[in-house]
Structure 1
Amino acid sequence: MSSQSAPDDQPRLRNRLSTRIIGASLAALLIVVSMVCWTLWLSWQLEGAGAAINDTGSLRMRATRVAVALLRGESADVDMTMQNTVLARLVEGNPARPLFLPTDHDVQVQMTVVAQSWRTQLQPALVSALAGEGNDIYLDLLPRFVHQADRLVRLIERDNAGKTSLLRFSQGVLLVMAGMGTLAMIALLHLWIIAPVLRLRDGQRRLAAREMGARVPVIGGDELGKLAEGFNQMADELAAAYADLETRVEEKTAQLATQNRELAALYDMAAFLNQPNDIEQTCHGFLTRVMAQFGADGGSVRAIDPRGENLHLVVSEGLSDELEDAEHCMPVNACFCGEATRQGVIVIHDFHAAPTRDFRCAQEGFGSLAVFRIVTPDEVLGSFSLHFRQQTKLSASQTQLASTLGQHLGIALDNCRLGAKEQQLAVAQERNLVAQGLHDSIAQGLNFLNLQVQMLTAAATRGDLADIRATVPLMATGVRESYEDVRELLVNFRTRLDHEELRSAVEEAVLRFRRQTDIQVDLDIDEDGGAPLPPDQQLQVLFILQEALSNVRKHAQAQRVHIQIVNQRDFSLTVSDDGQGYDPAEVAERGERHIGLSIMAERAARIRAQLHLTGKTGHGASVSLQLAREERLSA
């Protein structure tokens, strides 16, 4: 991809911070290197000029030494050779040493004068003097040569002094540039990096303090400028998100408040529906609470008949007597209240939007109607309606809440029906047990008395006083036994137990049995570590004990009875006697004809206990009731 198609948020090359920093650094480096090179060049020039001053001074010295040698008559060939070498070195220069003359014009001209003076005047005079022609010419020319050499030294020194001043000035300038460059770099770094970063940090702190209007100025198009733009964009998005978040929090808070109210309504309704009320009280309490929850001006609860054809008005609020009479019983398809049960939908209707139908609710002045089903998991029981004077539209949550309340009412009504059926079943079972008890005791006694009456009638007809005298005591005994049976049944039917009353009830039953029969009874109760049975189970245990004692009184002809009750983790009751016993095979053959044993078995089955009967002819009988820990109910 070409550079022209680069994203807009990327700064151009010349605007990049890195480009400016590198450019400034390279410019400062170039200036510093140039100044260092300049000072090095000046130092090199001064060093070469200093060597030239030394060699120029040696020209004067050697020229003088040659004059002294000539006056002494010594050889001066070596000095002359060295003099030529030094002159040649001064003229040609030696950069490696370094040694060279300044490039100043006066210095170069004076060097030419000195060199020509030596080559054209002193050297030829020296050669003549060495040849023996006399020293006078050389000695006469020497002062002039020395003067020319001195003048050359002074010119070189003057040039060196200027370059030394220039070197010191350059070093001063370099120091000033170093200080100013440092300050300039600090200023640029502060301008380019530190200040933008500080502005970003300040903006970040302001945002952290929830100052959503915090923004930073965008200066330049470099990376930090783009970063500032990104920060401002982020701040804009955060401000929008924060504002949206506040709105959403308010909305969620309102939703939670609504849900809390709905949960409170559900809780209140569930608490009410769980109370032991009849169907009409349940429907009336439900309707008043629903109307208060939704602000309805009227309402009704209707139930479907068993055939599913008609709706019956159970309760109503805010409706006129005429409307109640007219719609006390109506077909399911006659109005919206029935259509809601048939269609399986919730009907919310605005009467003004349906002018084609004549509604009694509209004639009553209601503007809106909402109908909801009353359901159980298995069937539709009816519907309840809410009437509003003003046009009202329920929200989705309100609709859902009303539907849920309809389900709660349906379950409560179903529970009421099941409770009523359970009570009917319990009454039927008790009646069956009463019938069995009457059949087993009083019916047999009455049958015996009927036979005795027939015998007494026959004896009276014959005038047989002996049979009459023999029959009357038997009839008196039968009446007395029937009377005892009636009293025993009445005591059993009136027995009611609360918590922890089983022991006293058992002791009372044993005491009554002793008074009726004069039979010795041994009672052994062990309640070590066992929790009390609930009243229902206690009552059935007591009935089984009473029935077992009744069988002993009627059939066993016993002298002693032993009763053992063990209430630990398991519960057991054992009633044994030393009477005449019975033949189990004979009892098995009789089956249902022995009503007392059947009654005990049914009562044991009610509490999910096991009943065991054992006996042997002539060796007594035993009744054992075993209630396992798994079947025990909490008291």
Structure 2
Amino acid sequence: METVAVHPPMRERLATRIVMLSAVALVLVLTMIGGTLWLSWQLQGAGAAINDAGSLRMRANAVGIALLSAQRDGNAAAADEHIALMNATLDRLRRGDAARPLFLPDDAGIRQQFGSVADAWHKRLEPAARDTANASRYLAGLPSFVAGADTLVKLIEQENARKTAWLRTSQMALAALSCLGTVAIVYLLYLWFVAPVQRLQDGLARIQRREFDVRLPVESHDEFGNLAEGFNQMAAELQALYGDLAGRVEAKTAELAAQNRELTALYEMTAFLNLPNDVPALCDGFIARLTHQFDASGATVRLVSDEDDRLHLVASHGVPPELLDAERCMPVDDCLCGDAATQGAGVIHDAGRMSRRPCQIDASAGVAAFGIVSQGEKLGSFSLHFDTKRPIPASEMKLLETLGKHFGTALKNRRLAALERQFAVSEERNLVAQGLHDSIAQSLNFLKMQVHLLDAAARDARMDEIREIVPLLQGGVAESYDDVRELLNNFRSKLGSGKFRYAVESTMERFRSQAGIAVALEYREAGGPPLAADHQLQIIFILQEALSNVRKHAEASRVHVTIVNDSEFRLLVEDDGQGYDPDDMGFLDERHVGFHIMRERAERLSATLQLTGSPGRGARVELVLPTHARQAV
């Protein structure tokens, strides 16, 4: 149920109260602080005035001493200097100095006394002081002037004492006001915040104890009042909903637990199906996990044969032997397993289908069959057997159908891998056959012709021809032997991790020992990534075939092999043999199957192979594996 928030009036909002309370407290505090600052400033200025007023006595005496000195030695400069200082002090007291600060207190008695002191100086003492010849006149009026200055100082000190008392009183009042204000603020905050929050906490605690009949009193129309009303509404709704909450929570918990079990089963089964097992181990592990996960007494896996369109039992677990013997091979339309295989979906056993011999089990038992499917292709079915009839929820049905699809994908992948291996073996056998034809078959054909010639010469007793044919036979046999040994060595080539350069050097060393031709290697690592294992093996075969062609046909004295592993991989085989005419390249391709073998291996790598040469200037075989064709290691 949607609730609409009702805002309290502006004057009743907590924010308004807090702002008003803060403003009042701020005004009071600033007023008290301003008063104390004013008193302090007055006291500081009066203190400076006391100092200057007290200095009047000292300066008046200094003027008298300077007059006596001037009367004795005739020098009136010192007296004039002290007179100027006295006038400056009086003038400063009269005008005040706000910067210091310095000023006389604003009191009529003090102002009157200062006027008397100033008049006594300007009218009586200062004229006498300027008459240096008559110092006695100045000295006669000096005591009354000093007495007046003392009276002025005492009056200022009395005023300062009175203001100091005011300052102490105001500070005590400020302290008292602070205490009272703090108590008042704490009390108001308690009323406005703490008490409502405590009531709300008590209400929440009772809600946690499942006392949904609790209600909070609504004592204000501010935010906490709205909160209390909302709490009461929430408690009422909880009280109404709690009646069926326990059942719903229990059902949701069971649903989540089931989903968790399903996800766990799906994850574990997927992890197992991705292991590199053969088909029998895959089927056995699959049904073993099924029986454990779904508490089944047994399980079977049946696959459809392409040859006879029948279901063949390939794995079983916990199924009676008599049932296995009776249903090891059956038509696809014979029972539940066949229905699941043809439909690709789950089929549950029921008593109404007993006429179709559902796995020849007792009517009290239960069985469920599910299709094994891979991308729409129906590969077979698997069945679960239970001791008693067991209802299978829709979620478990969906999970079992999903497991059947994953299992079908795993089976399909293994079949495709087997076909790929067969195809690779077939291609390699084709290349081997071509190599045998290019080397052994032609040599044997030559030996067969020589044997016929030898037979004819022997019948006619032509010894000269016999002596010519026998060395040819020996040479042909030796060449055939070398070809066979070379082919065997090449076919036995194996590569381990990081052994590509070693395989190249071993191939060149065998070539050097067999052909007796000097061979040099230039191997440059230019920052390219390592070659994949199957790429390494195909490149080694191409290098072997190129060196074999040099041995058989080039009549070379030197061979240079260059390998550059950059972003592109390059293999270059150069010889200084008799070479060939590029115009005869098509004819050479027909004679030498080795060229076809190298080209087929290059096409398998998605690489380019270029054969170049010229008569008498040798030949070049260059293989380039581009960056985009390189496989990740």
What is the 5 A alignment of 1:7-406? 203-209=199-205, 210-211=207-208, 212-213=210-211, 215=213, 231-239=231-239, 251-306=251-306, 309-351=309-351, 358-363=357-362, 367-406=365-404
1:632 deviation in Å? 1.3
Q: Distance in 2 between matches of 1:221 and 1:500?
A: 84
Instruction: Describe the shift of the 1:245–1:600 C-alpha distance in structure 2 as closer, same or farther (beyond 3 A).
Output: farther
Between stretches 368-377 and 603-612, larger displacement belongs to 603-612
- Say which SS state the counterpart of residue 577 (structure 2) adopts: coil
Instruction: Describe the shift of the 1:207–1:601 C-alpha distance in structure 2 as closer, same or farther (beyond 3 A).
Output: farther
Q: Distance in 2 between matches of 1:520 and 1:226?
A: 101
Alpha carbon RMSD of aligned pairs, Å? 3.3
User: What is the aligned partner in structure 2 of residue 617 from structure 1?
Assistant: 615
- Say which SS state the counterpart of residue 349 (structure 2) adopts: strand
Residue 536 (structure 1) aligned with residue 560 (structure 2): no
User: What is the aligned partner in structure 2 of residue 497 from structure 1?
Assistant: 495
Between stretches 501-510 and 211-220, larger displacement belongs to 211-220
1:277 deviation in Å? 2.5
Instruction: Describe the shift of the 1:206–1:576 C-alpha distance in structure 2 as closer, same or farther (beyond 3 A).
Output: same
Instruction: Describe the shift of the 1:385–1:238 C-alpha distance in structure 2 as closer, same or farther (beyond 3 A).
Output: same
Instruction: Describe the shift of the 1:602–1:239 C-alpha distance in structure 2 as closer, same or farther (beyond 3 A).
Output: farther
Preserved CA contact (<8 Å) 1:531 1:567: yes
Between stretches 207-216 and 576-585, larger displacement belongs to 207-216
1:484 deviation in Å? 0.5
Instruction: Describe the shift of the 1:628–1:425 C-alpha distance in structure 2 as closer, same or farther (beyond 3 A).
Output: same
User: What is the aligned partner in structure 2 of residue 163 from structure 1?
Assistant: none
Q: Distance in 2 between matches of 1:407 and 1:217?
A: 57
1:307 deviation in Å? 6.0
Q: Distance in 2 between matches of 1:228 and 1:563?
A: 91
Preserved CA contact (<8 Å) 1:573 1:626: yes
Q: Which amino acid aligns with 1:438?
A: L
Instruction: Describe the shift of the 1:395–1:230 C-alpha distance in structure 2 as closer, same or farther (beyond 3 A).
Output: same
- How many aligned positions are there? 445
1:231 deviation in Å? 4.8
Q: Distance in 2 between matches of 1:283 and 1:219?
A: 70
Residue 564 (structure 1) aligned with residue 557 (structure 2): no
Q: Distance in 2 between matches of 1:480 and 1:220?
A: 115
- Say which SS state the counterpart of residue 566 (structure 1) adopts: strand
1:384 deviation in Å? 0.3
Q: Distance in 1 between matches of 2:483 and 2:217?
A: 113
Q: 2:462 aligns with which of 454, 458, 464?
A: 464
- Say which SS state the counterpart of residue 408 (structure 1) adopts: helix
Q: Distance in 2 between matches of 1:492 and 1:314?
A: 41
Q: Which amino acid aligns with 1:204?
A: L
What stretches of structure 2 of length at least 5 have no aligned partner? 1-8, 10-189
1:202 deviation in Å? 5.2
Instruction: Describe the shift of the 1:229–1:196 C-alpha distance in structure 2 as closer, same or farther (beyond 3 A).
Output: farther
Q: 2:577 aligns with which of 573, 576, 579?
A: 579
Instruction: Describe the shift of the 1:361–1:318 C-alpha distance in structure 2 as closer, same or farther (beyond 3 A).
Output: farther
1:267 deviation in Å? 2.5
1:487 deviation in Å? 0.6
Q: Distance in 2 between matches of 1:208 and 1:493?
A: 83
Residue 519 (structure 1) aligned with residue 507 (structure 2): no
- Say which SS state the counterpart of residue 296 (structure 1) adopts: coil
Q: Which amino acid aligns with 2:479?
A: E
1:505 deviation in Å? 1.1
Q: Distance in 2 between matches of 1:219 and 1:532?
A: 79
Q: 1:447 aligns with which of 445, 448, 466?
A: 445
Q: TM-score, normalised by structure 2?
A: 0.64
Q: Which amino acid aligns with 2:322?
A: E
- Say which SS state the counterpart of residue 574 (structure 2) adopts: strand
Q: Distance in 2 between matches of 1:240 and 1:307?
A: 67
Instruction: Describe the shift of the 1:448–1:243 C-alpha distance in structure 2 as closer, same or farther (beyond 3 A).
Output: farther
Instruction: Describe the shift of the 1:355–1:414 C-alpha distance in structure 2 as closer, same or farther (beyond 3 A).
Output: closer
Q: Distance in 2 between matches of 1:409 and 1:498?
A: 33
Preserved CA contact (<8 Å) 1:587 1:594: no
Instruction: Describe the shift of the 1:226–1:519 C-alpha distance in structure 2 as closer, same or farther (beyond 3 A).
Output: closer
Preserved CA contact (<8 Å) 1:216 1:228: no
Preserved CA contact (<8 Å) 2:291 2:384: yes
Q: Distance in 1 between matches of 2:480 and 2:216?
A: 114
Preserved CA contact (<8 Å) 1:262 1:401: yes
Q: TM-score, normalised by structure 1?
A: 0.64
Preserved CA contact (<8 Å) 1:350 1:367: no
Instruction: Describe the shift of the 1:275–1:197 C-alpha distance in structure 2 as closer, same or farther (beyond 3 A).
Output: closer
Preserved CA contact (<8 Å) 2:309 2:331: yes
Q: Distance in 2 between matches of 1:530 and 1:358?
A: 65
1:526 deviation in Å? 0.5
1:589 deviation in Å? 4.2
- Say which SS state the counterpart of residue 334 (structure 1) adopts: coil
Instruction: Describe the shift of the 1:269–1:217 C-alpha distance in structure 2 as closer, same or farther (beyond 3 A).
Output: closer
Q: 2:413 aligns with which of 393, 412, 415?
A: 415
Instruction: Describe the shift of the 1:253–1:226 C-alpha distance in structure 2 as closer, same or farther (beyond 3 A).
Output: closer
Between the aligned residues of both structures, percent identity stands at 52
User: What is the aligned partner in structure 1 of residue 121 from structure 2?
Assistant: none
- Say which SS state the counterpart of residue 516 (structure 1) adopts: helix
User: What is the aligned partner in structure 1 of residue 116 from structure 2?
Assistant: none
Instruction: Describe the shift of the 1:421–1:198 C-alpha distance in structure 2 as closer, same or farther (beyond 3 A).
Output: closer
1:615 deviation in Å? 1.1
Q: Distance in 2 between matches of 1:196 and 1:501?
A: 83
1:342 deviation in Å? 2.5
User: What is the aligned partner in structure 2 of residue 476 from structure 1?
Assistant: 474
Preserved CA contact (<8 Å) 1:207 1:214: no
1:198 deviation in Å? 9.8
Preserved CA contact (<8 Å) 1:367 1:389: yes
Instruction: Describe the shift of the 1:615–1:217 C-alpha distance in structure 2 as closer, same or farther (beyond 3 A).
Output: closer
Q: Distance in 1 between matches of 2:414 and 2:519?
A: 46
